[in-house]
Amino acid sequence: MLTRTQIQLPDELYRRAKAFAERKELSLAEMTRSGLELFLARYPDPENSSGGWKLRVVQSGGVKVPLDRLKDFSHEAV
C-alpha cells in the first residue's frame, strides 16, 4: 500500500532531483522513496534498535607486535 503525500522543495533542489531521475530513468517518486529508505537505513530509530552498535571483539592468537616496531618486524620475518 502506498500513501499519497505532498512535499515542498526549493526550486534548485527540485530541478536537480528531476534531472537526476530522468538520467537514471526513474520517476521522481521512486527516487524519493529510495532516498528516504537510504536515509532511514543510515540513521535507524534508536527506540527500535537492539541496543546500538557495538564494536566486535576478535579473539586472536599469534605474535603481538607493538605498532612502532611493525616495520622492523616485517624485515626480520623475511
Other CB atoms closer than 10 Å to residue 9's CB: what's the count? 13
Q: Evaluate whether 31 touches 21 at the Cβ level (below 8 Å).
A: yes
Task: Report the predicted TM-score, pTM, of the whole model to 2 decimal places.
Answer: 0.55
Three-state SS string over 10-78 comes to: CHHHHHHHHHHHHHCCCCHHHHHHHHHHHHHHHCCCHHHCCCCCCCCCCCCCCCCCCHHHHHHHHHHCC
Residues 12-68 have pLDDT tens digits of 999 999 999 999 999 999 999 999 999 988 887 777 666 666 777 777 766 677 777
Distance (Å, rounded) from C-alpha 65 to C-alpha 76? 12
